[in-house]
Chain A
Amino acid sequence: MLINMKYGILLTALLFTTSLLGHDVSHSILRNGYGVEFHYEDGNPLDFADVQIFRPGESEMEFQIGMTDENGIFMFNPDTLGSWTVKVSDGLGHGKIVQVEVGETISGVVNEKSLPPLQKAIVGLGYILFVFSIWYLIVKRRQEQHAHS
């Protein structure tokens, strides 16, 4: 009777230990991965913005969802090669969809090619001047035709 009781206690202890092991969380610290940094036009970070990550060729089922940190950075660790889609939204109608090319090796920082603000302003004003000049010529010509007829 005493022996049976000892076996019973031992068995219960073993089962309890297995159950504890099943809920244990182990971890590794990774030093690789891809990060995307988002910021507004004025340089302020897109902080705590919603992020969705999609595997190459996937547009419905997310690989990962999360939030940018207070510096507007989101890190992820892709498990296949190809073009990954990163979708960010600040919940106010601002956001962006970025394609991150994942190759065999990580190749440093890839900056978005963007014109400086002054150049943007000059290009935009040139475009507007062009549109309204064309409109002016059309209306002027129409007026002259009316005057002749």
Chain B
Amino acid sequence: MHIPDGFLNTPVTLATGGISAVALAYSLKRVNETIKPEQIPLMGLMASFVFMIQLFSFPIGVGTSIHLTGALLISILLGPMVGFLIMTVSLLALALLFQHGGLLSLGANILNMAGVGCFIGYGIYRLIPSQRSSLIIAGLLSGIASAVLCSFELALSGMLDLSSAFKTMLLIYGLTGLIEGVITLFILEFLRKVKPELVEGPG
């Protein structure tokens, strides 16, 4: 879902860039007000983890490969705003260094992956009382929300025919979200056993 440059038209680029810039400025301001220096190494470690899982994709047997975002996990461990900042740093690294997604379309990519994963995914996770169900539903719904957002951005730019590609997008990214939810569940279960104070953090 790393949209390259040249795929989005000017209005979509400006709109998504504007929304992402506002969310980034707000998150940075809020995080900076409360952050302690000793929290930053853990954030750096989580950013490295997110970067690595986004760098490598794996096939899912339906003719395409996917990669996880890690947005749900870092939002639960460190809070959605810190998660959003970490995701932005990682997406910027992928775009700047390896052309995984364009620089002009960075706003759209931040919105689709960081915004949806950290805010919508985390919001759904908090709404549902049962942790197991909530993680799986949050993963699935944030995957679907990312697909809807990405499809509309591309369709508005004339790069996607919604009638033919929308169902595939929903299927692939819904499945990706579901896998993300299940893997997040396993990681949290593991962390709860070995380092429970990490799971009971700000998220």
Where the two chains meet, the residues of A that have a C-beta atom closer than 8 Å to any C-beta of B are: 40-42, 44, 47, 87, 89-97, 114-115, 117, 120-121, 123-125, 127-129, 131-133, 135-136, 139-140, 143
B169 and A94 contact, CB distance less than 8 A: no
Q: How far is the CB of B163 from chain A (nearest CB, A)?
A: 12
Q: How far is the CB of A101 from chain B (nearest CB, A)?
A: 18
Selected contact of B48 from candidates A94, A120, A129, A139, CB within 8 Å? A129
Instruction: Report the Cα distance A123→B97, complex, angstroms.
Output: 8
The interface stretch among B51-59, B119-127, B137-145, B177-185 is: B51-59
Q: Is B191 an interface residue (CB 8 A)?
A: no
A-B contact count (CB 8 A): 110
A124 and B94 contact, CB distance less than 8 A: yes
Q: How far is the CB of B199 from chain A (nearest CB, A)?
A: 22
A92 and B40 contact, CB distance less than 8 A: no
Q: Is B90 an interface residue (CB 8 A)?
A: yes
Instruction: Report the Cα distance A87→B154, complex, angstroms.
Output: 14
Majority-rule SS of B interface residues = helix
B65 and A40 contact, CB distance less than 8 A: yes
A97 and B44 contact, CB distance less than 8 A: no
Where the two chains meet, the residues of B that have a C-beta atom closer than 8 Å to any C-beta of A are: 1-7, 32, 35-37, 40-41, 43-44, 47-48, 51-52, 55-59, 63-65, 89-90, 93-94, 96-98, 100, 112, 150, 154, 159-161, 164-165, 168-169, 172-173
A117 and B56 contact, CB distance less than 8 A: yes
B64 and A132 contact, CB distance less than 8 A: no
B36 and A129 contact, CB distance less than 8 A: no
- A123-B97, A124-B55 known; A139-B65 Cβ under 8 A: no
Instruction: Report the Cα distance A87→B37, complex, angstroms.
Output: 45
A95 and B93 contact, CB distance less than 8 A: no
A125 and B2 contact, CB distance less than 8 A: no
Which residues on the B side are within 8 Å of A95 (C-beta)? 3-4, 7, 159
Which residues on the B side are within 8 Å of A97 (C-beta)? 4-7
Which residues on the A side are within 8 Å of B47 (C-beta)? 128, 131-132
B89 and A131 contact, CB distance less than 8 A: yes
**Which of B52, B64, B169 has its CB near the most chain A CB atoms (within 10 A)?**
B64
28 pairs of residues in contact across A and B, judged by CB atoms under 8 Å: A40-B64, A41-B100, A42-B59, A44-B65, A89-B7, A91-B160, A92-B168, A93-B1, A93-B112, A94-B1, A97-B4, A114-B98, A117-B56, A120-B55, A121-B52, A123-B97, A124-B52, A124-B98, A125-B51, A127-B93, A128-B51, A128-B93, A132-B40, A132-B41, A132-B47, A135-B43, A140-B37, A143-B37
Which residues on the A side are within 8 Å of B172 (C-beta)? 92
Instruction: Report the Cα distance A135→B44, complex, angstroms.
Output: 10
The residue in chain A whose Cβ has the minimal distance to the Cβ of B44 is: A132
**Which of A87, A92, A94, A96 has its CB near the most chain B CB atoms (within 10 A)?**
A92
Instruction: Report the Cα distance A114→B160, complex, angstroms.
Output: 28
Selected contact of A139 from candidates B3, B6, B37, B112, CB within 8 Å? B37
Which residues on the B side are within 8 Å of A128 (C-beta)? 44, 47-48, 51, 89-90, 93
The residue in chain B whose Cβ has the minimal distance to the Cβ of A52 is: B159
B150 and A93 contact, CB distance less than 8 A: yes
Give 4 closest A-B pairs by Cβ, nearest first: A132-B44, A91-B165, A93-B1, A136-B40
Which residues on the A side are within 8 Å of B3 (C-beta)? 93, 95
